[in-house]
Amino acid sequence: MQLQTTDEKPAYWKSAVSRVTDEKVYVRGYDLEDLIGEISFTAATFLLIRGRVPSPEEARALDAVLSGVLDYALEKPGTVAARYVVSANPSMAIGMSAACMAVGKHTLATEDTGRFILAAHQEYLESGLPLKEFAGGKVDRMRQAKERIPGLGHPVFKKVDPRGALLRQIAVEGGLWSEAAETYEALHHAFTQLPGKADIPINDVGVMAAVMLSLGFSPEEGTGIAILSTLPGVIAHVSEELTGGKPIRVVPREGVKYTANTDGDFAADMARAGWGDKGSEGPMGSSGSEL
């Protein structure tokens, strides 16, 4: 059943996520009252973004992705930014807002990896080649073009990243390791055949990206889920800052090298720059003729 919407001329907005009536809230077609207490937050997250209820395996894999990072102490810029912000403006909402905005070019690893996997898999499908052969050729072409495969390598782990391996296993057990993910693994395998690369594993970010694609999330939605997974930690840090932190945090002076001089001669430099004497011809001319 479709509620009527007035749309003689096309409405400026369109949305399929939820709808609100005077008595009810419908989420992806379901009465919200039917969901409360009957669905885990993880399953609700899947429902809202994908538009359908997940299978138990999908919910489990998403739970594993959502607990893949959790927190990274004061070594994540967004967490630190959030604590600085709330030290001036003590608000949980604003702290979370600050943490979200500190995700971009230098931290969108899953999104970039997701885009790479999708594009490479598409290229494979169009190549008509056996996977192994495609992967070998693709890796060669990338090496010649000096392009890197995202999601490979780890500062500490050799051959296997235990967190990545765990995620992969959960996805495979759930039948959620897609063909695109297999293409990605084939590229990794071909990569490890290169001289000196034998030990380089797919890292946890690479596996997270592959699993989120297998769950049907777009790379952008994957970024949203990766951010979501870090917010309970942000809530904990902001709460810690609000209760035990310092109002008006600074960077302690001993941690900064200030290279600005302190002996500029402003009046002289302004004159040198062509400003007349103080007054109507001066930089405060906007004070007008009265001066």
Looking only at residues 117 through 176 of this chain, which bind a copy of itself when binding is defined by CB under 8 A? Answer: 155-156, 162-163, 166-167, 169-170, 174
User: Residue 282 is which amino acid?
Assistant: G
State the nearest-atom distance from the C-beta of 283 to a copy of itself, in Å: 5
Stretch that binds a copy of itself, among 121-129, 132-140, 191-199, 240-248 (CB under 8 A): 240-248
State the nearest-atom distance from the C-beta of 128 to a copy of itself, in Å: 29
What is the contact mask toward a copy of itself in residues 245 to 264, using x (rule: CB under 8 A)?
-xxxxxxxxxxxxxxxxxxx
| Beta carbons of 238 and 82 less than 8 angstroms apart | yes
Binding residues for a copy of itself restricted to 15-54, rule: CB under 8 A: 15-45, 48-49, 51-54
Helices 162-173, 56-66: inter-axial angle, 10-degree rounding: 170
What is the contact mask toward a copy of itself in residues 52 to 91, using x (rule: CB under 8 A)?
xxxxxx-xx-xxx-xxx-xxxxxxxxx-xxx-xx-xxxxx
199 binding a copy of itself? (CB under 8 A): no
> Which one, 146 or 253, has the nearer CB to a copy of itself?
253
Interatomic CA distance for residues 93 and 245, integer angstroms: 17
H-helix segments, 174-215: 179-192, 204-214
Tokens of 98: 């600050």
| Beta carbons of 222 and 156 less than 8 angstroms apart | no
> Which one, 45 or 183, has the nearer CB to a copy of itself?
45
Burial class (CB in 10 A: 0-12, 13-18, 19+), 245: middle
